[in-house]
Structure 1
Amino acid sequence: MDVDLPSSIQAKLKSDTGEEAGGTLDIPLTVTKDQLQLICNALLEEEDTPFLFFVKDVEIKNTLQEALDIKSLNSEEVVEIIYQQQAVFRVRPVTRCTSSIPGHAEAVISTSFSPSGRQLASGSGDTTVRFWDLPTQTPLHVCKGHTNWVLCISWSPDGLKLASACKTGRAMLWDPSTGNQIGKTMIGHKQWITALTWEPYHLNPECKKLASSSKDGDVRIWDTVTGLTVLSLCGHSKAVTSVKWASFDKSVKLWEAATGKFITTLRGHVQAVYMVAWSADSRLLLSSSADSTLKVWSMKTKKLELDLPGHADEVFAVDWAPNGEYVASGGKDKVLKL
């Protein structure tokens, strides 16, 4: 005998951090995403704030009924509808390469957008670090000082310094406005440096501390003013390829930074993963690989969102523009792609 399905359910609207909006609501199964948007804005007293809605980890794209398995519900169950504020910007589909910027004499191994999004920095096998003006797509400075391949670079959160590291295991700081070196060269790693990352701005507005990972298995925390190691983390038995957990087993691993808890593994690349970069709102993750592709991963579903082909060879470096409109990549084909 067929069982009549309910026309509505008891539901609560909750944010992705657990805060409830109002109490228990009687919501029709035919309610649309746009109608949920109006309800949520009214309860939160926030006009025109865009939200995404999820029920049991499934995004509500049209109606609640389409996203929810009604037959599996208990008649007394109160369903949680999770709302998540969308980014201010939209990440548009990548349809073409907007420009190619020549200049380096060897492979481009690392790229990084400035926090303002107006400059791009790149490191290369030609031992130089270069600064580029993005609006005009012209060179600004060529920085010389490294004696081997520049493997990784990273802007300070305030945009006033750029850190770079090379195959000799040494790290340097540069002034983006002049192209001159800042302070002392940081020496300590026994093998080449694989990744650099700055302490977040809200923890240290002076942007003094820099972390580096290395082929020698260590992670070092540096005081960039003195050029000395503040802390050395020596728990790994092999190379630490990235503080964001890119790896040579063709996967990307996600970890909870506060607790060290393993979250999940992202699989899709068919060769080694070289670098990863977050979108500004941390909802998308970009990875580059020896398989010549870039991949965009959704942090909500933990699944592949988009494939970005285009390079003719291995892709060593990627970064996401602060406004989310561009990603930059560089690789063995000696070309920067936007």
Structure 2
Amino acid sequence: MEVEAPRQSEMVNNVMCLLVDPEGNSLGPSMYLPQNAGPQQLQQIVNKLLNNEEKLPYSFYISDQELLVPLATYLEKNKVSVEKVLSVVYQPQAVFRIRPVNRCSATIAGHTEAVLSVAFSPDGRQLATGSGDTTVRLWDLNTQTPSFTCTGHKNWVLSIAWSPDGKHLVSGSMAGELQSWDPQTGKPLGNPLVGHKKWITGISWEPVHLNAPCRRFVSASKDGDARIWDVSLRRCVICLSGHTLAVTCVKWGGDGMIYTGSQDCTIKVWETTQGKLIRELKGHGHWVNSLALSTEYVLRTGAFDHTGKQYSSPEEMKQVALERYNKMKGNSPERLVSGSDDFTMFLWEPFVSKHPKTRMTGHQQLVNHVYFSPDGQWIASASFDKSVKLWNGTTGKFVAAFRGHVGPVYQISWSADSRLLLSGSKDTTLKLLCSSRFGTSGQRN
């Protein structure tokens, strides 16, 4: 009896937990953890079990709710039985934190018409903007002053994209032409690239871990085609034809495939050596408006990270970018999410299957924009139903809804550390959400 007593009290004060990664892989067998253990103690345990020499920050989730209190407090509040094994998901966090956002730090004037497109350079030092005044402007973010005004377009600049090595900037216009620019001088690199018959709807570069220095990018157009261009040859090398209506969005994936979403309700997957159609992703009942990749942040930034390190050769850049991509992707396939006019979203693993992983429902109006957080943990969606919804980035499961806007929500954007989500609406406001509210304070469906 004397031997049994400590075990009984130990069982009462402990809870059986299973630590799993976001893909559901367990970190060893189930273990008893003290009920007074909180995120700090769990962080120490995970770092120890993973044999991390450098202690990394982690956040923890139970049923998609972030654990911010000791286990005992969570169990009591949610009336969870201690007799069952508690599954706790550990998620690596960014080792850096962005500065708090509580005011407008600068208003950069210059364009004489509406700003229609914006893009940060991969190293975060410059900003490019495209406008209805037909110009592209480059801005120095350290001094918050204009660097160059790039002239040459004859119509509104609708789309803009940096190459992941930072050496090129490409803009697409309402007239259907594309122009490549040198970000160091603001000068055009050759004549406009012509081929599209209607306006440009999207631009995406080939990832630098697949090819360095960057040469190829893909453009999508209202004319129903996507085109692959080579900036060194200064011409279109492949035309991706097959959609029966406008191509609304395009992404060049880390596995080397191109994804195009269209008003014909389909998403097509293309290989990029000959432009052959690999598969078609079907399921949406109306226009596909937006596509996003789970690896998008590392694809866009290539070898550049928060340390600000610069690279001396394309080979070094390619190697570092590949390491970042593989670390981000882990053992799971690249995921794609699509948002549609049919009010729904689909989560896909296109490399694995033509069938969706899950269908995501809940919006009451068309889904205008979908976006993965940089760490791949979350998917955010913006809708004309005036809400922003948050979903689990691995399973597609609904997490929370945020209803602060009083007009349609057009666009969303994540901070580099995945801790802040920004939404922009027709109501002329921007709303900022902090990750500590995800899964806890958000209104549920």
TM-score w.r.t. structure 1 length?
Answer: 0.77
Q: Which residue of 1 aligns with 2:34?
A: 28
State the identity as a percent.
Answer: 41
Three-state SS of the structure 2 residue aligned to 1:186 is coil
**TM-superposition CA deviations, 1:217-244 (whole Å, max 9, x none):** 3333323322343444444333232236
- Give me the whole-angstrom Cα distance separating, in 1, the residues matched to 2:93 and 2:174: 40
The residue aligned with 2:131 is 124
**Aligned 1:23-102 pairs, distance under 5 A:** 23-46=29-52, 47-65=54-72, 66=74, 70-71=80-81, 75=83, 78-90=85-97, 94-102=101-109
Q: Which residue of 1 aligns with 2:189?
A: 182
> Corresponding residue for 1:136?
143
Residues 202-257 of structure 1: CA deviation (Å, up to 9, x unaligned): 12222122122221233333233223434444443332322365267377665435
Give me the whole-angstrom Cα distance separating, in 2, the residues matched to 1:324 and 1:78: 29
Q: SS of the residue aligned with 2:43?
A: helix
Higher helix share: 2
SS at match of 1:21: coil
Deviations 1:149-193 (A, max 9, x none): 110001110111111100111212111000111245332222111
- Identify if the C-alpha distance between structure 1 residues 182 and 286 changes in structure 2 by more than 3 Å, giving closer, same or farther: farther
Deviation for aligned residue 1:31: 2.6
Please give the alpha-carbon distance, in whole angstroms, between the structure 2 residues aligned to 1:328 and 1:261: 31
- Is 1:203 the counterpart of 2:210? The answer is yes
Do the aligned partners of residues 327 and 53 (structure 1) sit closer, same or farther apart at CA in structure 2, a change above 3 Å counting? closer
Amino acid at match of 1:256: E
| Contiguous gaps of at least 5 residues in structure 1 | none
Q: Is the 8 Å Cα contact of residues 183 and 226 (structure 1) preserved in structure 2?
A: no
Give the secondary-structure state (helix, strand or coil) at the position aligned to 1:38: helix
Q: Which amino acid aligns with 1:106?
A: E
Describe the shift of the 1:261–1:222 C-alpha distance in structure 2 as closer, same or farther (beyond 3 A): farther
User: Which range moves more in the overlay, 47-56 or 196-205?
Assistant: 47-56
Which of 173, 183, 203 does residue 180 from structure 2 map onto?
173
Is 2:21–2:89's contact at 8 Å kept on the other side of the alignment? yes
Alignment partner, residue 12 of structure 1: 18
Higher relative contact order (CA 8 A, sep 6+): 1
Q: Residues 20 and 70 from structure 1, CA distance in 2 versus in 1: closer, same or farther, beyond 3 angstroms?
A: same
Question: Structure 1 241/307 Cα, relative in aligned 2: closer, same or farther at 3 Å?
Answer: farther
Q: Which has the higher strand share?
A: 1
Structure 2 counterparts to residues 103-252 of structure 1, below 5 A: 103-243=110-250, 245-246=289-290, 249=341
3-state SS in 2 of match to 1:187: coil
Distance 1:30 1:235, change over 3 A: farther
Alignment coverage as a number of residue pairs:
327
RMSD (CA atoms): 4.1
SS of the equivalent of 1:181 reads coil
In 2 relative to 1, CA 121–94 (structure 1 residues): closer, same or farther, beyond 3 Å? same
Using structure 2 for the length normalisation, give the TM-score. Answer: 0.61
